[in-house]
Amino acid sequence: MQITPLHAEFGATVSGVDLAAPLDAALFGEIDLALNRYSVLLFRNQRLDDDSHMAVTRRFGAPEENHVEFYTSGTIAYIGKIGNIDANGKQLRNQARKVVSQTANNMWHSDSSFRETPSLHSLLYAYEVPAEGGDTEFVSARAAYQRLDDATRNRIDDAVGIHDYIFSRTKVGEDAVSEGQRTYMRPVRQRLVRRNPVTGDKNYYVGSHVCAIEGMDDDEARPLIDQLINEATREQSVYRHQWQAGDLVIWDNRCVLHRGAGYDADRFRRRLHQTRVRGTGPTLAEPG
Ligand SMILES: [Fe+2]
């Protein structure tokens, strides 16, 4: 296994690993350590299907059920379908509800930060990619934390952010959420600063789902949230991933923000499958 950095601040390409084959404990340990250190890992030229994708996912922990399916139809599904191809293989256009709803992913976020126990990692595998557009951008909120001055760190170190799925999703339209989602997905409290248990590095934990900071007036909290997101996502800190079919990207949702860069669903097909690994518990229970 070889590791080649993707960006000065974070991220690495891992080569010499076939993820469709079973991973022995030593190799998995190396991958897991690399993910703790680099936060984003890219594996090119893989030949996964849903079964092998799930097998890799389960090595990192328990899979997390897809929240759209679960809160809309009550179904437990572990494979999230990203892009504009429906269950029959038909291409959906820009105006389709699913395509519009997914444009909410074009805001910087951390997956499932709206759950009391948020995602540990996401694993996104590309089957079909557009000839233009459809990139995914990543930044490290760990590198961003390092850039903060002491006063800002002291202000946020023990703070609690409120994350709300309905708040963020309805930014792209009131019908971007289902009735079930509206009823059952309540705001949750998350630590604003988290620490990686393996490396000890701290980062802040923000994104589009954050609507407030506990105990802080909105006219103070909103500029602070925006300042943190802006600092993390400054241009030179972005790794922009241009997908190829056969790419698997695994990222650490504890400390990485990402967003979709958009594409023309009228012209192109895009089909990726995503799984998520459930976190080990509420962030408020993590040691500070
Ligand atoms: Fe996402």
In angstroms, what is the span from residue 259 Cα to ligand 1's centroid? 6
What are 201-260's pLDDT values in tens digits?
999 999 999 999 999 999 999 999 999 999 999 999 999 999 999 999 999 999 999 999
Report CA torsion sign: 81, 251, 269, 21: negative
Strands 40-43 and 12-15: parallel
Residue 71 has pLDDT above 90, yes or no: no
CA of 135 to the centre of ligand 1 (A): 12
Give the per-residue pLDDT at 233. 98
Average confidence score pLDDT of the chain: 96
Instruction: Give yes or no for residue 69 having a pLDDT over 90.
Output: no
pLDDT tens-digit series, residues 101-148: 889 899 999 999 999 999 999 999 999 999 999 999 999 999 999 999
Q: Sign (positive/negative) of CA torsion 91, 93, 96, 99? A: positive
Q: What is the mean pLDDT of residues 86-106?
A: 93
Query: Residue 96 and residue 90: Cα distance in Å, rounded?
Result: 12
Distance CA 217, CA 226 (A): 14
Distance 215 CA to ligand 1 centre (A): 28
Q: Ligand 1 centre from 100 Cα, in Å? A: 15
Query: Which has more pLDDT, 67 or 57?
Result: 57
Ligand 1 centroid to residue 151 C-alpha, Å: 31
Ligand 1 centroid to 68 CA: how many Å?
Answer: 13
Measure 257 CA to ligand 1 centroid, in angstroms: 8
Instruction: Please state the separation of Cα 246 from the chain's center in Å.
Output: 19
What is the number of H-type helices and E-type strands within the chain?
9, 15
178 has pLDDT over 90: no
Residue 28 DSSP label: H
Burial class (CB within 10 angstroms; exposed 0-12, middle 13-18, buried 19+) of 90: exposed
Burial of 213 (0-12, 13-18, 19+ CB in 10 A): buried
- In angstroms, the CA 20 to CA 117 distance is 29
pLDDT of residue 126: 98
Residue 12 has pLDDT above 90, yes or no: yes
In the beta sheet, which residues pair with residue 250? 41, 123
- pLDDT for 5: 98
Determine the distance separating the centroid of ligand 1 and the alpha carbon of 102, expressed in angstroms: 9
Distance (angstroms) between ligand 1 centre and the Cα of 40 equals 13
How many Å lie between the centroid of ligand 1 and the Cα of residue 16? 27
**CA gyration radius for the chain?**
18
CA of 108 to the centre of ligand 1 (A): 8
| End-to-end alpha carbon distance in the chain | 33
Helices 50-60 and 25-38 cross at an angle (nearest 10°) of 70
What pLDDT, on a 0 to 100 scale, did the predictor assign at position 287?
A: 87
The whole-angstrom separation of Cα 46 and Cα 248 is: 7
Q: What is the DSSP string of 241-265?
A: E---TT-EEEEETTTEEEEE----T
User: Cα(197) to centroid of ligand 1, in Å?
Assistant: 23
* Residue 288 pLDDT exceeds 90: no
Asked whether residue 173 carries a pLDDT value surpassing 90, the answer given is no
- Domains in the chain (CATH in brackets) are 2-281 (3.60.130.10)
Closest CA to 190 of 173, 170, 171, 165: 165
CA 106–ligand 1 middle distance (angstroms):
8
Q: Do 248 and 48 touch, CB atoms closer than 8 A? A: yes
Q: What percent of the chain has pLDDT over 70?
A: 100
Residue pointed to by tokens 């695994």: 250
Tell me the CA–centroid distance for residue 110 and ligand 1, in Å. Answer: 6
**Residue 90 Cα, ligand 1 centroid: separation in angstroms?**
23
- β-partners of residue 202 are 195
- Between the CA of 186 and the centroid of ligand 1 the distance, in Å, is 19
Q: Is 161 helix (H, G, I), strand (E, B) or coil?
A: strand
* pLDDT reported for residue 169: 87
Q: Are 69 and 54 in contact (CB under 8 A)?
A: no
